[in-house]
Amino acid sequence: MANVEIQILTVLRALAEVAGLFLLAQGVLFVLAGSTREKNPIYQLFCVITRPAIRMTRFITPKAIVDKHVPFVAFFLLFWLWILLAYVRQVLCQLNGLICH
């Protein structure tokens, strides 16, 4: 049973990592593409991929946070979620006497 829990944590951590990396890539492209970013197909793809994370962040954050800052908040929330999932996974592995990398 513990192996299933560890695999679920691993999948969740991978999803958080991928979403965070796409947000980071979107931010880099935001800076590099400048004002023509809305016409850039790769930037549009990143917007589609990161939209769920940004919408979820907008849902859980107070309205005092400006919409322009929500992607930054989403990135940092995903980063801390990634760290938390790694910690929980490591603790679960230690409790079950498994070696997890």
Three-state SS across 20-60?
HHHHHHHHHHHHHHHHHHHHCHHHHHHHHHHHHHHHHHHHH
pLDDT digits (tens, 9 = 90+) for 79-95: 999 999 999 999 998 88
Q: Domains of the chain: which residue ranges?
A: 2-95
36-92 residue pLDDT tens: 888 999 999 999 999 999 999 999 999 999 999 999 999 999 999 999 999 999 999
Residue 98: strand, helix, or coil: coil
pTM confidence score: 0.87
CA distance 88 to 63: 31
